[in-house]
Chain A
Amino acid sequence: MGDISLPAPVPAPAWPDRFQHVDTLLDAPGPSTDPDFVRGDVVKEFLRNQCKILVIGAGGLGCEILANLALMGFADIHVIDMDTIDISNLNRQFLFRPKDVGKPKAIVAAEFVMSRVPGTKVTPYFGKIQDKDESYYMQFNLVICGLDSVEARRWMNATLVGMVDPENPESLKPMIDGGTEGFKGQARVIIPTISSCYECSLDMLNKQTVFPICTIANTPRLPEHCIEWASVLEWPRVFPDKKMDTDDPDDIQWLYERASARAHEFKIEGVTWSLTQGVVKNIIPAIASTNAIIAASCCTEAFKLATSCAPALNNYFMLIGTEGIYSYTFEHERRPECPVCGGETIDMPVKKEWTLERLIEALTERQDIQVKKPSLSAGGRSLYLQAPPQLEKRTRPNLEKKLSELVEDGDELTVTASSLPFNLTLRVLLKD
């Protein structure tokens, strides 16, 4: 982190009635409150002096989550974010100002919340969640995720599920996860190994549009195909040694111009700067109001879990704000074959005449697995390895081989990938 100094908490002055509103919920149980709820000073002491909560992400959801938690009385908050502030964040990430552009989100957010809500300690970490190990995550009572990446959520989920030690109740860390897109969003409560986990519901995600390389290379039809051509094929050809930076307007300009030229050549209309940027950065529309709803839902559940003043969400809240205020609350079921919390092996039906390459293609298409560039092995034998290059080269001939030459019906395959935070086991079912 170099020369970035960590912000310090501001001590709270004498503040009678500070929690007058929140205390109505902590001084008396309601009709639905669990009988184990201990009203009054005990629960307040836990919330305000003992409970340690971790917020992952200090972006659209994260800013809201931090402000909410501080006002609700959580006083020991940690936040992790690896990003710096961009001008396009300012339409919703309300802890940041134009002068903060370029600074680390976690640090600016922590500083702002501490100055606005005296007595709150927010400890920022400007870096990746993967930098931290189990002993770090073990110190928290609760984790709230406000992330925009599936991969980071999978990693956090797998880590928290993996930490559960049945002998040690303290090892069970509830994970509350929020996500938004436009006027829609969802919040969910994951009790590792008890409720369904993030991995259990992977197949609920919208399938990401992936354009086949042959379309991009040979038969473009949409402006998006031309943009993909510019970024996936042209850039590496023209700049073999330079990595594309999608935050650099010069790079976007180059892509936009190349894509426009190609579109013109093929009589395709509609390549614009904005679309170019949207496609290469995979931009998801985001607004303050939706983030406010979902972050507040996450923090309501964190407050209920930390205090037991009301039953927590079981376990999924889905909001659709495009047509009225519509929401749906339901229990997402665990998946027995969930590779993270399930334990049962996943079956992979394949045809005997398939090549290994065809199997890999089928694997990457599975919505419940979502793996890119997998390496495969069977009983300790490497079938195909993506890296390092020497091993990739040695195993490459297998790609052309028929599955019947490589495996037996019922064999277990181990799948690994850099994007996969665990080893996946598949049972191959060979069919004619």
Chain B
Amino acid sequence: MAATAWAQSIEDATVTVSSPTNVRPDDKTRRYDRQLRLWASSGQSALEAARILFVSGGATSTSSLKNLVLPGIGAFTILDPLPVTHADAGNNFFLHIDGIGQNRAEEGVKHLAELNDSVKGTADTRDVNALLDSDPEFFTSFTLVIAINIEPATEGRLAQALRSGSSTPREMVPLMIVRTAGFYAMIGTQIGEHTVVDAHAETPPTLRLDSAFPALLEYSRAVNLDALDSTDFGHVPWVVLLVKTLDSWRQTHNGEMPKTYAEKQELKKTLEKLRRRGDEENFDEAVAQAYRMWTPTTIPSEIRELLSDQSVTNLKHSSPSIFFFLRALSLFVEQCRFLPLVPTLPDMHTTTDTYVELQNLFRAQAEREMLLFEDCLKVALEEVRGSWEERETLGLGRTEVKEFIRNAAGVRVFKGKKWGSVQPQEIVSALQMELESGMLPAPAAVYTAFLASADFHGQHGRHPRPTDADNAELLQFATTRLTAGGWEGELPETVTTALGEIARAQGSDIPTTAALVGGMVAQEAIKFITRQYVPIAGTCVIDLIKSTTGTLPF
């Protein structure tokens, strides 16, 4: 979250008044403008600090890398000892027919590096298995490792090396494992612990109108609707209309909130009755937002769960800043029942002065709660024998506090599973679920076909082909896998169809499948690196025959 000198984040920029950084953007900011509007300068600096390893330099690898080099990751390495074949040059946009016979990593790096001068590309022509034997630390020196279409046994060894290379799950280098075959693909992950600092949730911040803060309540009560002329009446902001309406309803109902459907409708009618002409815009808005009067402000369940997690309750001096914030949040919530107020007021039909006035009320309240939150943060720091003077060095300064509060509702912490730990029963239950739902995507069926194909490859050292003999053997492998998970009887048609397609594909890396998967791999990589947006939890299965994707929970 370190601020960079070269560009002010779009988000930061839009909440400050014209400051010296508001000059014309430089070339770099202009080049990255369309992405900075998504992940801001904090996300961009994380990308620029990232070093990514791709194991194998096939079409899916270079397609993924293209989407990471363009937005400006720091550095990447392609690990691949193989020479470019005619078939490679035919299905890979970042290889050329002139490079046939040259090393695939070197040729790939050459053509990818052209895309962005500020990215450092390295070709490593060593063999992955030899490197796992001689220098496993090589793999843990990266920010993220992505293995595409490598031998299943090597996938397991790589996953093991990353697990052994870290003392805690938090430090474990995340791994993405990708397999493609014709129109099919799967993307799996191994993560230790991943924290999302900003999920970019699309739900607007709550205004807590069901329990208006004192200054807002007082302000609303002071508005005397009857005394207003028709112009002013038509400019009372909907926020005030809702607070007033709920307030008077509660005064006549022993201070209770509306609970039943009938009560809520009655409340809405009370609001409607306040209209004078029937077409006041502010009332149109208020009616559309009426649900806010009876929707209780709550703490999102993901956050509630997170606050009781051991990593939060059992804070250590060495914990990353986010856990200090979460510990402070948990103390704050105990006192206040809410998340700290985010002072973002939506636009509403009213005059400039009233809007600014209202906005100042929200800002003042947010400021008060921010100070209260800082008190909680101080307590959290003292719990681990830290001192408040350390706050800046621990990344707990005022700027970081404000940023945390703004994104608090979107914080997530994922705990991953180790690669290869899925149980046969889990696959069978996912398969049964998709058969019962009858919905279009059938990820468990395609996943089963990938497993059977890997088993076949392990036995024969080659991909299955669309022959009767290979099909029969694939069916046998799939049956063995599923029977171990409790499946009884013949395999469903979704599975036999997927097996047929896997045999037809013969492990081919189709350019369009590679491009599509490359886009998804890059999206997920960006999410892991920036800690913004929510990455996949589980395995994503892509079926381009049905044009669907589905995510399995394991």
> Interface of A with B (CB < 8 Å)?
12-13, 15-22, 24-25, 28-32, 64, 67-68, 71-72, 87-88, 90-92, 94, 97, 116-118, 182-183, 219-223, 249, 253, 256, 260, 263-264, 266-275, 277-278, 283-297, 299-301, 303, 310-311, 313, 317, 319, 321-327, 329
Known: A287-B34, A325-B540. A293 touches B87 (CB 8 A): no
Contacts of A249 in B (CB 8 A): 24
How far is A223 from B14 in the complex, measured between Cα atoms in Å? 9
Residue of A nearest to B91 (CB): A21
Find A68's partner among B10, B515, B535 (CB 8 Å cutoff). Answer: B515
Q: Given A67-B93, A274-B13, A293-B520: A17 and B347 within 8 A (CB)?
A: no
Size range of the interface on B?
Answer: 35 or more
- Kindly specify which of B313-321, B350-358, B394-402 makes contact with the partner chain: B350-358
The answer to whether A87 and B504 touch across the interface, beta carbons within 8 angstroms, is: no
Chain B contact residues, CB within 8 Å of chain A: 10, 13-18, 22-25, 27, 30-38, 59, 63, 66-67, 70-72, 85-87, 89-93, 96-97, 114-115, 182-183, 187, 199-200, 202, 235, 347-348, 350-352, 355-356, 440-441, 466, 496-497, 500-501, 504-506, 508-516, 518-520, 522-524, 526, 533-537, 540, 544-549, 551
Contact present for A288 and B71 (CB under 8 Å):
yes
Complex A-B: 21 CB contacts under 8 Å: A12-B97, A15-B89, A20-B90, A21-B59, A21-B87, A21-B510, A22-B90, A25-B183, A25-B510, A68-B511, A71-B91, A71-B511, A183-B523, A219-B350, A272-B13, A273-B24, A274-B36, A293-B519, A300-B513, A310-B545, A324-B536
Specify which chain B residues have a CB less than 8 angstroms from the CB of A17 in the assembled complex.
85-87, 90
Alpha-carbon distance A278/B114, docked complex (angstroms): 29
A97 and B114 contact, Cβ closer than 8 Å, known pairs A24-B504, A219-B352, A293-B516: yes
Q: Is the CB of B35 within 8 A of A290?
A: no
A19 to chain B: which residues have CB within 8 Å? 90-91
For B31, the chain A residues whose CB sits under 8 A away are: 87-88, 90-91
The CA of A220 and the CA of B356, in the complex, are separated in Å by: 10
CB of A296 within 8 A of CB of B516, answer: yes
Q: Is the CB of B533 within 8 A of A117?
A: no
Find B511's partner among A22, A94, A269 (CB 8 Å cutoff). Answer: A22
Residue in A closest to B180 when the chains form the complex, CB atoms: A21
> Contact at A222–B90, with CB atoms within 8 Å?
no
User: A22 to B516, Cβ gap below 8 A?
Assistant: no
Task: Enumerate chain B residues within 8 angstroms of A310, measured Cβ to Cβ.
Answer: 183, 544-545
Q: Which residues of A contact B93 (CB under 8 A)?
A: 67, 71, 116-117
Question: Chain B CB within 10 Å — which of A13, A94, A278, A313 has the most?
Answer: A94
A270-B16 contact, Cβ under 8 Å, with A21-B87, A283-B34, A289-B523: yes
A325 and B518 contact, Cβ closer than 8 Å, known pairs A24-B182, A91-B34: no
A292 lies within 8 A of B347 (CB): no
State the CA gap A274–B22 with chains docked (Å): 8
Q: Evaluate whether A91 and B70 lie within 8 angstroms (CB atoms) in the complex, with A274-B10, A278-B37 already known.
A: yes
Given A300-B547, A310-B183, residue A285 in contact with residue B34 (CB < 8 A): yes
Kindly state the separation between the CA atoms of A48 and B514 in the bound complex, as whole angstroms.
20
Given A18-B90, A296-B516, A300-B516, decide whether A221 and B355 contact each other with a Cβ distance below 8 A: yes
- Distance A53 CA – B496 CA, assembled complex (angstroms): 35
Nearest chain-A residue to B534 (Cβ)? A323
> CB distance B533 to A299 under 8 Å?
no
The answer to whether A88 touches B34, judged by C-beta atoms less than 8 angstroms apart, is yes
A31 and B497 form a contact (CB under 8 A)? yes
- Asked whether, in the complex, the Cβ of A31 is within 8 Å of the Cβ of B535, the reply is no
Task: Please indicate the chain B residues that have their CB under 8 angstroms from the CB of A285 in the complex.
Answer: 34-35, 37-38
CB distance from B269 to the nearest CB of A (A): 24
Which A residues are in CB contact (< 8 Å) with B24?
Answer: 249, 253, 273
Residues of A within 8 A of B511 (CB): 21-22, 68, 71-72
A221 touches B90 (CB 8 A): no
Do A292 and B512 touch across chains, with their CB atoms under 8 A apart?
no
A130 CA / B466 CA spacing, docked (Å) = 47
Q: How far is the CA of A125 from the CA of B542 in the complex (A)?
A: 35
In angstroms, how far is the closest chain B Cβ from the Cβ of A40? 13
Residues of chain A with a CB closer than 8 A to B18's CB: 260, 264, 271-272
Residues of A near B16 (CB, < 8 A) are 269-270, 272
Query: Of A12, A87, A256, A301, which is in contact with the most chain B CB atoms at under 10 Å from its CB?
Result: A87
Contact B25 A273 (CB under 8 A): yes
Which residues does chain A contribute within 8 Å of B514, judged by CB atoms? 296
Q: A18-B89, A97-B114 are in contact. Are A30 and B504 (CB under 8 A)?
A: yes
Q: Determine how close the nearest CB of chain B comes to the CB of A304; give it in whole angstroms.
A: 8
A20 to B92, CA, bound (A): 12
Contact B545 A322 (CB under 8 A): no
How far, in angstroms, from A342 to B378 measured CA to CA in the complex?
66
Whole-angstrom distance between the Cβ of B386 and the nearest chain A Cβ: 34
Q: Which chain B residue lies CB-closest to A70? A: B93
Leading 7 A-B pairs by shortest Cβ distance: A292-B519, A293-B519, A296-B516, A71-B511, A296-B515, A289-B522, A20-B87
The answer to whether A322 touches B200, judged by C-beta atoms less than 8 angstroms apart, is yes
Query: Is there contact, CB below 8 Å, between A288 and B522?
Result: yes
Chain B residues near A270: list those with CB within 8 A: 14-17
Contact A287:B35 (CB < 8 A) given known A22-B511, A71-B91, A325-B549: yes
Residue on A with the closest CB to B516?
A296
Residue of A nearest to B441 (CB): A329
| Shortest beta-carbon distance from A35 to chain B in Å | 15
> Which B residues touch A263, using CB under 8 A?
17
A94 to B66, CA, bound (A): 8
A4 CA to B86 CA in the complex, in Å?
A: 34
Cβ of B115 and Cβ of A94 under 8 Å apart? yes
What is the CA–CA distance of A97 and B116 in the complex, to the nearest angstrom? 9
Q: How close is A358's CB to chain B, nearest CB, in angstroms? A: 11
User: Which of B182, B496, B551 touches A326 (beta carbons < 8 Å)?
Assistant: B551
Minimum CB–CB distance for B541 against chain A, Å: 10
